[in-house]
Chain A
């Protein structure tokens, strides 16, 4: 089971949970399961094609990765806004 760590506003969309334990072999699989568990988060991290949005960063055990990256059983997955997306 991987640990998914969220910050606001995603934390609020996930019912106030800062940390959620989710089973999955890849980042995409875990994020889709996150959407299933917390439907309000749908569309915020993954776009309609299942890709991680351009201005969202996913880190797995310290490495920045995308949706197709594998995730180890005991990994920690951070979902963070990138510094590039806040310029509008």
Chain B
């Protein structure tokens, strides 16, 4: 059985079912009713569930449990130092690291937290927080958010992170120092004569190919890119897509030449292109893209799929793909996108989807 963690504007839904069109997934749990759940994962190393929950009144926090239908406890330490005039606004991403218990959280405004006990306690990464350019960092429409954390399989020292809208940051020493990794990125939302050396770079999503870790794929704010040198330089691979705008991205962990995106019209109209819900996949590193839409709505379907609302399960031709829309609909595929089925309809607006 597949278990999905669906973070929504109105709570966390834990769905369970078989990847087929025969029967929708069951809603096993609805946790945090009324609160916004930005993101939730189950850490495969410990079995612990971690959820980023934002109360409209009482602020954001990461909650944890071993049983999502039972009691959740609050983690500690996810706050900025006293004396700094900043507050954590939103927790965008939680990701297991490459050492026992090592776990990362990316938050707005643009900060990285690390945990060495599997996410129970957190500590701010000061090197990124203290970047001298921070006062000039510009937020994207969703805020100044650190949303992508690409670890390097087997090497906890090497990290790449993506920030909207402050580009890619690379570290080779476990986050003690950071440098930019932006060469080749072109921000179409800036005047041409301002595009050259800006750091106002709105990364929407970034993933590393685990079998070839120097390769990264990126969905940009107007652009889809690939890096073959661990994020130092980037080249456009958007040709063949109906639009180069979108938010989420998934890769097949067994295929370093693979990436899957869900194009939206543009930043001025953030809905699926032509009223058709289509995933586009490449298996030649962006050389060509294939529309994967069999079973998805193809008429008057103007959905918005947010940054963290797309995930995969397994690998290869039988890889599962799951995504949710702000319409509250969740879709799935059990054959790497060749065919699709409806997982569940009419949930609350979906922020995130992760396979447990």
Interface residue ranges, A against B (CB under 8 Å): 9-10, 40, 42-45, 47-50, 53, 55-56, 81-82, 85-88
Please name the residue on chain B nearest to A84 by beta carbon.
B56
**A59 CB → nearest B CB, Å:** 15
Whole-angstrom CA separation of A81 from B57 in the bound complex:
6
> Could you tell me if B9 and A88 are in contact, using CB atoms closer than 8 angstroms?
yes
> Could you tell me if A55 and B88 are in contact, using CB atoms closer than 8 angstroms?
no
> Could you tell me if A48 and B56 are in contact, using CB atoms closer than 8 angstroms?
no
**A5 CB → nearest B CB, Å:** 16
| 10 extra A-B contacts, CB within 8 A, seeds A49-B83, A88-B9 | A9-B58, A40-B74, A42-B76, A43-B61, A44-B59, A48-B87, A49-B85, A49-B87, A53-B59, A56-B58
**B160 CB → nearest A CB, Å:** 28
Please name the residue on chain A nearest to B74 by beta carbon.
A40
**B301 CB → nearest A CB, Å:** 25
4 nearest A-B residue pairs (beta carbon): A48-B79, A85-B56, A81-B57, A85-B57
Would A86 and B59 be within 8 Å (CB), given that A40-B74, A48-B79 are in contact?
no
Would A43 and B79 be within 8 Å (CB), given that A49-B87, A88-B9, A88-B36 are in contact?
yes
Interface residue ranges, B against A (CB under 8 Å): 9, 34, 36, 54-59, 61, 74, 76, 79-83, 85, 87-88
Residue among B54, B59, B76, B88 with max Cβ neighbours from chain A (10 Å): B59
> Could you tell me if A88 and B58 are in contact, using CB atoms closer than 8 angstroms?
no
17 A–B contacts from the bound complex (CB under 8 Å): A9-B55, A9-B58, A10-B58, A40-B74, A43-B59, A47-B79, A48-B81, A48-B87, A49-B82, A49-B87, A53-B59, A56-B57, A81-B56, A81-B57, A82-B57, A86-B57, A87-B56
Query: Which single member of A44, A48, A87 contacts B58 (CB below 8 Å)?
Result: A44
> Could you tell me if A48 and B80 are in contact, using CB atoms closer than 8 angstroms?
yes
> Could you tell me if B56 and A55 are in contact, using CB atoms closer than 8 angstroms?
yes
Query: Which single member of A9, A45, A47, A55 contacts B87 (CB below 8 Å)?
Result: A47
Kindly list chain B residues whose C-beta atoms are within 8 Å of the C-beta of A50: 82
Whole-angstrom CA separation of A8 from B36 in the bound complex:
17
Whole-angstrom CA separation of A53 from B61 in the bound complex:
14
Whole-angstrom CA separation of A42 from B56 in the bound complex:
16
> Could you tell me if B80 and A55 are in contact, using CB atoms closer than 8 angstroms?
no
> Could you tell me if B56 and A86 are in contact, using CB atoms closer than 8 angstroms?
yes
Please name the residue on chain B nearest to A50 by beta carbon.
B82
Whole-angstrom CA separation of A87 from B55 in the bound complex:
10
Whole-angstrom CA separation of A48 from B113 in the bound complex:
15
Please name the residue on chain B nearest to A82 by beta carbon.
B57
Query: Which single member of A9, A48, A88 contacts B88 (CB below 8 Å)?
Result: A48
Whole-angstrom CA separation of A87 from B56 in the bound complex:
7
> Could you tell me if A53 and B82 are in contact, using CB atoms closer than 8 angstroms?
no
**A35 CB → nearest B CB, Å:** 12
> Could you tell me if A48 and B82 are in contact, using CB atoms closer than 8 angstroms?
yes
Kindly list chain A residues whose C-beta atoms are within 8 Å of the C-beta of B54: 88
**B336 CB → nearest A CB, Å:** 35
Whole-angstrom CA separation of A45 from B58 in the bound complex:
6
Whole-angstrom CA separation of A88 from B132 in the bound complex:
33
Kindly list chain A residues whose C-beta atoms are within 8 Å of the C-beta of B56: 55, 81, 85-88
Kindly list chain A residues whose C-beta atoms are within 8 Å of the C-beta of B81: 48
Whole-angstrom CA separation of A88 from B81 in the bound complex:
27
Residue among A43, A44, A56 with max Cβ neighbours from chain B (10 Å): A43
Query: Which single member of A9, A10, A47, A82 contacts B59 (CB below 8 Å)?
Result: A47
**A73 CB → nearest B CB, Å:** 28
Please name the residue on chain A nearest to B87 by beta carbon.
A47
Whole-angstrom CA separation of A62 from B208 in the bound complex:
56
